[in-house]
Structure 1
Amino acid sequence: MRKKLISAALALTFAMSALTAGNVTAYADDGDVTTVTWYASRPVDGAIDKTMREIAQQYSDEHDGKWKMEVITEADRPSYLSKLRTLVAGGNMPDIIDIDATPYCQELVDAGLLVDVKKFLQDENLYDSYQPTALKYQEFTNGTMYTLPLEYHVEMIWYNKKIFADNNLEVPKTMDEWLDVCAKLKDAGITPIAVDGVDRWPVLRYLAFMPFRESGNDYIINLSEGKASMGDDIGKKAIDFMQKIGPYFQDGFGATDYATAQAMFLDGQAAMYYIGDWEIAAMQDEYQNGDIGYFYLPTYDGAKTAANEFCVNSGIGMAFNSETFDDKTKDFIKYVIANYGKLYAEKDQMSPIKTELSTDHEYSDLYKSVYNDMNNTGENFLKPWDCYLDSNSCQVMEDNLLLLAAGDQGPDEFINLVDSAIADYTNQ
């Protein structure tokens, strides 16, 4: 029997995104086939999407077609979260959803709607199959975990080797050296850094750098819980760094989207660009030609976190509806864990599941370089601030951060707006 019928409301809510993405709409129960519905927030035909569809097809074939996974995708994150809230509020939560370990996710946990993924992995002796940091990233601050990672990333600063060489610049190892490199580039009439301001989160990363070097993730945890202020010493250092590095972003960065910012860097219009290893394919040719390289987040004397500790993440997690997580679904997830790592890595992606590189696939020098880096990172990692903040506080911070970085807002106003937004949430 089908495990869960999708209601008319669910089908209607999904209809537009399903048709747009070219996916199948709600599966009709024929009385024999078990169908699991995954409401996904991933790029259609992206590496995760392709890998999961391949595994689901293999699993279905091995079960004589009596099992199917319907993937309904809404890649636009804000739209996805809005629809997910509507579905959950209406009692129509899909069998599998994509979600970060955010305050909203905690609300779902508190309501008993999500499966304890850590317990599931431990009960099935699968916990040690994963990279430790990939799992730790999915945890709430209390150590509980309700989301399963499907990706694993490091984030770095890519740089144009020719621009650096022409201007006698060395790869910076400290934050001060990084700012000094930026100043010399700007003096030479070169845009130091390309950044995607439209999506906000790339700019938010810059605000998080100094607090991470100062305190790991302790400061953002305390800030998000109303136990710290943006005006504390660490917060002021973050603001000061933001004001110093913001003038080195391209003109009009707040209106620059992801693709444009990346193209600026790859076309040599900017000397540096911060992005993660998920863009290895885009960087491959220029790296192989010796035109670009990368370095990780600089540090400084006395920093709490080490040079091999920076933003390492396992992205949006996969969570499971506790009401419909039956033995058949458990068996499928175990099948995913057994097969995912190899297939995903062969798409030139870093797997959260411990995986030896396959001899059936030729990996580039860039891939192998990043792969080795990821196996030598420290215990601490910068967890993106938008994973800790409630949605409204995050939006207030991100929107005003663009003004702060552009020099259109002062520190005091930024501090007051952020603190007020967090207080409104924590005092509810």
Structure 2
Amino acid sequence: MKKRMLAIVLTAAAMLTMAACGQGTPSGSPSGASENGKGNADSDVTVVKWFASRPVDGEIDLTMREIAEQYGKEKGGKWKIEVETTADRPSYLQKLKTLIAGGQMPDIIDIDADPYCQELVDAGYLVDVKKFLQDEGLYDRFYPTALRYQEFTDGSMYTLPLEYHVEMIWYNKDIFKENGVEVPKTMDEWLDVCRNLKDNGITPISVDGIDRWPVQRYIAMMPFRMTGNEYIINLRDGKASMGDETGRQAVEFLQEIGQYFNEGFGATDYATAQSMFLDGKSAMYYIGDWEQAAMLEAYNAGKVDYFYLPTAEGAKTGANEFCVNSGIGMAFNTQTFDAKTKDFIKYVIENYGKIYAGRMQMSPIKTELPGDIQFTDLYLRIREDMEKTGENFLKPWDTYLDVDTNTVMQDNMLLLAAGDMTVDDFIKIVDDAIASNVK
């Protein structure tokens, strides 16, 4: 019944799929064994299909392809993985919904632990990853925070992490020194630093507004300091308002710090925001450790450094608690998660850490660093930081909110940060969206 309910929601997408494929597969039915190569009488090769949403030739993509190739060779060529990648997330999700509605769900998909993922879980589509890891004795192989990030608020987990990150504020050391400002320890001090820099004709912060999520990090900062993730969970569930004390504080903080973003930030893309910072055209830039390679030359030259999210008076979370995430996870089709697929995933967990770390990336799987690779001082420093993070971590708001509410928030927060919307108007728009979409 649950699968049929999900199929009804996606009827239009299903009709498009069937028309395009010329198939009459019932909407919402599981993908057939002959489609993924398992149990196919015409072939003795096991083919696993992974529909991915990660950069082609990115570190995860390269690592997984290397492991899959190695695994296939060990299986005598009787196993292979087919990867289809759509890196643009909105396009990926649209296609994923179409595939699932048309009974064409791949063996492996990429998905966040968000409301749509919960729909798939409720409909019985996804494997209980926590149970799988525990049953196989693999749960403790991962860093606890990397797994907790993948959990729903009830503690269940249906996605497997392939990455592990901390997010920080990078800053230009020369600009700070020349303008007599120091690394801020509190949120108020951070705003003071921004104010002093702007008064001296410096652009304090460069921001990628086109992708929205970098701006959304800022509105989440004060609520995280004061409540952990409690506020956003209550907001999502309709138990809190953006007009509550914590919500209003968040909105006012974004409006205030927004005046220190680069001019035209709403039309600034990822590469431009980063280039502004590295070219010395802005003093600070918020981004995660995944960009350490881009920062390395300037860091080694003593030009840039980083600090983590400042604290706040009366905060519930500590200085060693900030945005730590393990990114989009892998989820598995319950209909095709057979012994061969399980064996491959166990093989991934056994081999992933060293290969991924060898590409100067932080692995969610505990592993000793390969001794034949010279790791940078920056990498080792960040890795040490990650070992010292606290139990709380800022989980991005777009993983909590339904897609409609999130779109409303992301579109209007650009106006708020640019000074083109009032605090009260923003509060009302978001509250109205939540009221319309809360379940």
Shorter-chain-normalised TM-score: which range? over 0.9
Is the 2:187–2:312 Cα contact (8 Å) retained in structure 1? yes
Offset of residue 420 of structure 1: 0.9
Identity of aligned residues (%): 71
Q: Does 1:399 find its partner at 2:415?
A: no
Q: Does 1:206 find its partner at 2:257?
A: no
Offset of residue 354 of structure 1: 0.4
Q: Deviations over 1:371-428 (max 9, x none)?
A: 000000000000000000000000000000000000100111111111111111115x
After superposing the two structures, state which structure 1 stretch, 357-366 or 57-66, moved more. 357-366
Q: Deviations over 1:320-362 (max 9, x none)?
A: 0000000000000000000000000000000000012211111
AA at the equivalent of 2:172: N
Q: Deviations over 1:89-148 (max 9, x none)?
A: 111110000000000000000000000000000000000000000000000000000000
Q: Distance in 1 between matches of 2:155 and 2:110?
A: 19
Q: Distance in 2 between matches of 1:12 and 1:203?
A: 38
Offset of residue 301 of structure 1: 2.4
Is the 2:173–2:303 Cα contact (8 Å) retained in structure 1? yes
Offset of residue 249 of structure 1: 0.1
**Residue number among 79, 89, 99 corresponding to 1:67 in the alignment:** 79
Q: Does 1:53 find its partner at 2:65?
A: yes
After superposing the two structures, state which structure 1 stretch, 41-50 or 165-174, moved more. 165-174
Counterpart in the other structure of 1:115: 127
**Residue number among 144, 165, 183 corresponding to 2:156 in the alignment:** 144
Is the 1:47–1:344 Cα contact (8 Å) retained in structure 2? yes
Q: Secondary structure at the match of 2:110?
A: strand
Is the 1:10–1:87 Cα contact (8 Å) retained in structure 2? no
Is the 1:101–1:147 Cα contact (8 Å) retained in structure 2? yes
**Residue number among 234, 243, 256 corresponding to 1:231 in the alignment:** 243
Is the 1:280–1:367 Cα contact (8 Å) retained in structure 2? yes
Q: Deviations over 1:241-292 (max 9, x none)?
A: 1111000000000000000000000000000000000001101100011000
Q: Secondary structure at the match of 1:164?
A: helix
Q: Does 1:308 find its partner at 2:312?
A: no
**Residue number among 332, 335, 355 corresponding to 1:343 in the alignment:** 355
Q: Distance in 1 between matches of 2:44 and 2:133?
A: 29
Is the 1:211–1:235 Cα contact (8 Å) retained in structure 2? yes
Is the 2:36–2:107 Cα contact (8 Å) retained in structure 1? no
Q: Does 1:375 find its partner at 2:383?
A: no
Counterpart in the other structure of 1:19: none
Is the 1:27–1:70 Cα contact (8 Å) retained in structure 2? no
Number of aligned positions between the proteins: 408
Is the 2:17–2:98 Cα contact (8 Å) retained in structure 1? no
AA at the equivalent of 1:313: N
Distance change >3 Å, CA 11–CA 140, structure 1 → 2: farther
**Residue number among 194, 205, 208 corresponding to 2:206 in the alignment:** 194
Is the 2:225–2:315 Cα contact (8 Å) retained in structure 1? yes
Q: Distance in 1 between matches of 2:376 and 2:159?
A: 31
AA at the equivalent of 2:157: M
Offset of residue 80 of structure 1: 0.2
AA at the equivalent of 2:301: N
Counterpart in the other structure of 1:82: 94
Counterpart in the other structure of 2:368: 356
Q: Distance in 2 between matches of 1:257 and 1:337?
A: 35
Q: Does 1:253 find its partner at 2:261?
A: no
Counterpart in the other structure of 1:408: 420
Q: Deviations over 1:15-36 (max 9, x none)?
A: xxxxxxxxxxx98875111000
Q: Distance in 2 between matches of 1:240 and 1:95?
A: 45
List runs of 5+ in structure 2 lacking aligned partners.
1-15, 22-34
AA at the equivalent of 1:348: M
Q: Does 1:366 find its partner at 2:383?
A: no
AA at the equivalent of 1:255: A
Q: Secondary structure at the match of 1:356?
A: coil
**Residue number among 376, 381, 399 corresponding to 1:387 in the alignment:** 399
**Residue number among 176, 182, 196 corresponding to 2:194 in the alignment:** 182
Q: Distance in 2 between matches of 1:93 and 1:10?
A: 13
Q: Distance in 1 between matches of 2:252 and 2:226?
A: 14
Q: Distance in 1 between matches of 2:45 and 2:210?
A: 43
Q: Distance in 2 between matches of 1:325 and 1:243?
A: 47
1:91-130 matches, cutoff 5 A: 91-130=103-142
After superposing the two structures, state which structure 1 stretch, 418-427 or 207-216, moved more. 418-427
Is the 2:127–2:333 Cα contact (8 Å) retained in structure 1? yes
Q: Distance in 2 between matches of 1:72 and 1:385?
A: 28
Q: Does 1:276 find its partner at 2:288?
A: yes
Q: Secondary structure at the match of 2:71?
A: helix
Q: Does 1:38 find its partner at 2:50?
A: yes
Counterpart in the other structure of 1:4: none
AA at the equivalent of 1:303: A
Q: Distance in 2 between matches of 1:394 and 1:411?
A: 17
Q: Distance in 2 between matches of 1:96 and 1:258?
A: 28
Distance change >3 Å, CA 271–CA 89, structure 1 → 2: same
Counterpart in the other structure of 1:291: 303
Q: Secondary structure at the match of 1:148?
A: coil
AA at the equivalent of 1:105: C
Q: Secondary structure at the match of 2:204?
A: strand
Q: Distance in 2 between matches of 1:123 and 1:76?
A: 34
Q: Does 1:156 find its partner at 2:156?
A: no
The structure 1 segments of at least 4 consecutive aligned residues displaced by more than 6 Å after TM superposition are 10-13, 26-29
Q: Distance in 2 between matches of 1:190 and 1:357?
A: 40
Q: Distance in 2 between matches of 1:362 and 1:393?
A: 45
Distance change >3 Å, CA 10–CA 257, structure 1 → 2: farther
